[in-house]
């Protein structure tokens, strides 16, 4: 696993901060957001541009720079050397919803203020939502099936499942996940226009899903990549983690809660599990009251009231587009390994939700299966099951 997050850009930093219930949301520093309705965000503060190859620094967006470093850490932490595999049986699947927003905005400004000759040739790809897949495949020599999925915040989970599916089709190794960054004026205006972004100024009360005070989400940057293999390393006997099930639906001609509940049931079915087998649910936690109500209704419909512990550690660092599902997947994996649930910081559970929301660190007597949920605007629902073996 390799991560980039406001909690830190190593797995250890992310996990320790999540367990403590830290809130790393602050005033945006990437640009002057003081005149905007929303001014808080979750930024990756420990990232160093020196970790990015020099020739790529002026030709890539921050989201791609974060992706390059996180992918390298995922590859370096793997039990096996990926160089030993056939390059044409190495695949990459990433998700993206925004592309290189900041890079594209900078070059458009050059175009309109200075003229076409001042626009970088890198603009032809650096803004594109598939750029991370392309840059990673070139740098690390992944020449198998490489793709990018676009499903807003649901995309990260979809990418991880697609990676697992490629392994079953004969790929030897797959790098899967998502990383995004939205910190530029153009991106900010785009998000504010949805009416879903929190306008609160107090970081500890800014992102409160399933709470009476819920008033939107806080944008963040970051995400995670998982290196997937069909083989369990010998030293991981009893500690291996498997992507065991997935369900995806689109909310079209049914209520949002029904569509999400259907995705959960599809995930359980593909993992050959029952609701009683799930030990923890990582909620999407939109922070928008109507969407939170839909998600709570879906969870209680499948698991019953107070039927399973539910957590949303992202309230401490914000929502990083499709990258947030990948980060939740890492946190779910670490929960299974440690048998400890990270809390949902700052939230007071709303009456009538029926959820057993974890607001303080909690030990699990058993931790075999975790369910991760992600929803993307306007219609995407994704559910991923991670299991310990």
CA distance 282 to 372: 5
Q: What is the pTM of this model?
A: 0.96
Q: pLDDT averaged over the chain? A: 95
Q: Is the peptide bond preceding residue 58 cis, with omega within 30 degrees of 0? A: no
Instruction: Please give the sequence-ordered ranges of beta strands (E in DSSP) within the chain, or none if there are none.
Output: 2-4, 26-27, 40-41, 90-95, 146-149, 173-180, 222-228, 241-250, 280-282, 309-311, 340-341, 356-357, 362-363, 369-376, 380-388
CA distance 321 to 41: 12
The predicted model gives 172-186 an average pLDDT of 96
262-293 pLDDT per residue, tens: 999 999 999 999 999 999 999 999 999 999 99
Least trusted range by pLDDT, from 92-101, 115-124, 345-354: 345-354
The answer to whether residue 237 scores a pLDDT higher than 70 is: no
**DSSP letter string over 38-100?**
--EEB---S--GGGS-GGGGGGS-HHHHHHHHHHHHHHHTSSS-GGGS-GGGEEEEEE-SS-S
- Of the chain, the percentage scoring pLDDT greater than 70 comes to 98
- Torsions phi, psi for 164 (to 5 deg): -65, -35
The answer to whether residue 236 scores a pLDDT higher than 80 is: no
CA distance 319 to 316: 10
The answer to whether residue 239 scores a pLDDT higher than 80 is: no
> What pLDDT was estimated at residue 357?
96
The predicted model gives 222-245 an average pLDDT of 85
Dihedral sign of CA atoms 356, 361, 365, 368 in order:
positive
In which residue are the tokens 């083989």 written?
A: 231
> What pLDDT was estimated at residue 343?
98
CA distance 153 to 374: 6
The answer to whether residue 111 scores a pLDDT higher than 70 is: yes
For residues 224 and 332, the answer to whether their CB atoms sit within 8 Å is no
16-67 pLDDT per residue, tens: 999 999 999 999 999 999 999 999 999 999 999 999 999 999 999 999 999 9
> What pLDDT was estimated at residue 238?
59
CA distance 378 to 210: 19
- Torsions phi, psi for 116 (to 5 deg): -60, -30
Q: Tokens in use for 52?
A: 């990015």
> What pLDDT was estimated at residue 234?
65
The answer to whether residue 101 scores a pLDDT higher than 70 is: yes
Q: Where in the chain is the domain with CATH 3.40.47.10?
A: 2-228, 240-388
CA distance 204 to 178: 26
The answer to whether residue 75 scores a pLDDT higher than 80 is: yes
328-372 pLDDT per residue, tens: 999 999 999 999 999 999 998 877 889 999 999 999 998 999 999
Yes or no: domain 240-388 corresponds to CATH 3.40.47.10? yes
The predicted model gives 139-157 an average pLDDT of 96
The predicted model gives 169-196 an average pLDDT of 95
Fold of the 2-228 domain = Peroxisomal Thiolase; Chain A, domain 1 (3.40.47)
Task: Classify burial at 89, counting beta carbons within 10 Å of its beta carbon; exposed 0-12, middle 13-18, buried 19 or more.
Answer: middle
């Amino acid at each position: 696993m390799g991560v980039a997050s406001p909690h830190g850009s190593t797995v250890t930093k992310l996990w320790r901060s999540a367990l403590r219930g830290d809130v790393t949301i602050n005033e945006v520093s990437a640009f002057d957001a003081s005149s905007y309705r929303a001014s808080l965000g979750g930024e990756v503060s420990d990232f160093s541009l020196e970790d990015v190859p020099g020739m790529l620094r002026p030709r890539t967006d921050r989201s791609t720079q974060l992706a390059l470093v996180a992918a390298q850490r995922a590859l370096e932490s793997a039990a096996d050397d990926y160089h030993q595999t056939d390059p044409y049986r190495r695949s990459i699947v990433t998700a993206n919803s925004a592309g290189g927003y900041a890079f594209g905005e900078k070059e458009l400004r050059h175009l309109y203020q200075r003229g076409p000759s001042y626009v970088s040739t890198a603009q032809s790809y650096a803004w594109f939502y598939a750029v991370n897949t392309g840059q990673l495949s070139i740098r690390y020599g992944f020449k198998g099936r490489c793709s990018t999925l676009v499903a807003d915040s649901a995309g990260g989970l979809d990418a991880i499942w697609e990676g697992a599916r490629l392994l079953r089709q004969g790929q030897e190794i797959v790098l899967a996940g998502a990383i995004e960054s939205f910190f530029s004026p153009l991106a900010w205006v785009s998000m504010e226009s949805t009416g879903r972004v929190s306008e609160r100024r107090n970081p500890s009360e800014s992102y409160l899903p399933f709470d009476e005070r819920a008033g939107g989400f806080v944008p963040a940057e970051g995400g995670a990549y998982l290196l997937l293999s069909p083989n369990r390393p010998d030293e991981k006997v009893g500690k291996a983690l498997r992507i065991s099930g997935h369900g995806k639906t689109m909310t079209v001609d049914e209520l949002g809660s029904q569509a999400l509940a259907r995705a959960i049931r599809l995930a359980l079915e593909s993992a050959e599990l029952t609701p009683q087998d799930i030990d923890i649910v990582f909620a999407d936690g939109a922070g928008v009251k109507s969407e939170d109500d839909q998600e709570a209704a879906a969870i209680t419909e499948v698991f019953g009231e107070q039927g399973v512990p539910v957590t949303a550690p992202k309230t401490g660092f914000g929502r990083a587009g499709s990258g947030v599902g990948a980060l939740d997947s890492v946190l779910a994996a670490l929960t299974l390994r440690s048998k400890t649930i990270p809390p949902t910081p700052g939230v007071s559970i709303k009456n009538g939700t029926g959820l057993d929301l974890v607001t303080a660190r909690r030990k699990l007597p058993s931790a075999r299966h975790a369910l991760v949920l992600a929803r993307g605007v306007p219609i995407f629902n994704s559910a991923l099951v991670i299991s310990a073996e």
